[in-house]
Amino acid sequence: MANSDSSTAMGDRVRIGRPSAGTQPGGQQTIIASMQKFMRSTPLTNVQRLQIAEYAGVTPALISYYFPDKLDLIIVSASPLISTYIDRVGNIINDYSDLMDRFRSLGHEFIDFNFKSGYALDYYIDATMRRKRSDEIAEMSRQYGDLFSFMKKFVEERTVRAIDPAFLHSSLWAQCKYLGRQPHLLNITDQDEAAFAVKKLSEETFKLFTKGLLG
């Protein structure tokens, strides 16, 4: 009987000591949310569990419990951000609106994504390449191909001089990435203020391209 009580007590301790799931403090979702915030503000680095743990306010052991491989944590945390971005870009380039309107919308989406997600795409690409995640790599390749096709059509129909579609795409992305990831934007927490900032930056970017590269 004593052995039975001892086993029961030990089982209770195991259950109590097991990390909580869901949105409980220290749970898996808390770690993922903290990782997303970390990626938003921190340029790509070989992040260590201790850094993530300190940022999330948990122990490295708790992170290891849920994510024995830190690359899995990066991929799981970044995946919803990247999937939403890919869907939104796809909706823009497959829309039936004017090509110039879609180009403007792409600039807005590029800035908005980099403003909200920071360096998440950099972490995601690095982790999926290192883990050789063929499905994720193929999805990103498809999106790049779709964007190239759109830029090619845009150049053929809406620009006054020949421009390499890949150059146009990379130029727009680089400009929007720089603007969206400006450190001072991290201090904006009000949604209306954030939306206004992104809109203003996208309008300035569109003017820059229409008066310069596309002029």
Estimate the crossing angle of helix 70-93 against helix 120-130, to 10 degrees: 120
Q: How many domains does the chain have?
A: 2
**Within a domain: 26:** yes
How much is the pLDDT for 185? 94
Of 68, 87, 122, the domain-final residue: 68
CA distance 82 to 32: 14
Regarding predicted confidence, which is higher, 170 or 23? 170
Q: Is 101 found in the same domain as 163?
A: yes
- pLDDT surpasses 80 at 215: no
Of 38, 68, 98, the domain-final residue: 68
Q: Is 33 found in the same domain as 126?
A: no
How much is the pLDDT for 85? 97
Handedness of CA 102, 205, 192, 194 (dihedral sign): positive
How much is the pLDDT for 4? 42
- pLDDT surpasses 90 at 13: no
Q: Residue 17's pLDDT band (boundaries 50, 70, 90)?
A: very low
Q: Is 98 found in the same domain as 51?
A: no
Cα separation values, 7 from 11, 13, 17, 18, 19, Å = 6, 10, 15, 17, 20
Q: What is the largest CA-CA distance in the chain?
A: 89
44, amino acid identity: L
Question: Looking at 117-121, 143-147, 193-197, 208-212, which range is the least confident one?
Answer: 208-212
- Mean per-residue pLDDT for 111-116? 98
Could you list the residue range(s) of the whole structural domain that residue 23 is in?
1-68
From the list 125, 118, 121, 120, the residue with the least C-alpha distance to 181 is 118
How much is the pLDDT for 116? 97
How much is the pLDDT for 211? 82
Retrieve residue 76's tokens.
């799981």
How much is the pLDDT for 2? 43
- Mean per-residue pLDDT for 92-112? 96
Q: Residue 205's pLDDT band (boundaries 50, 70, 90)?
A: very high
Q: Model pTM?
A: 0.85
- pLDDT surpasses 70 at 25: no
- pLDDT surpasses 80 at 20: no
Neighbours of 54 (CB within 10 A): 14
Q: Residue 158's pLDDT band (boundaries 50, 70, 90)?
A: confident
CA distance 127 to 78: 10
CA distance 27 to 11: 21
DSSP 143: H
Of 47, 68, 89, the domain-final residue: 68
Give the mean pLDDT of the chain: 87
CA distance 23 to 28: 7
**Within a domain: 56:** yes
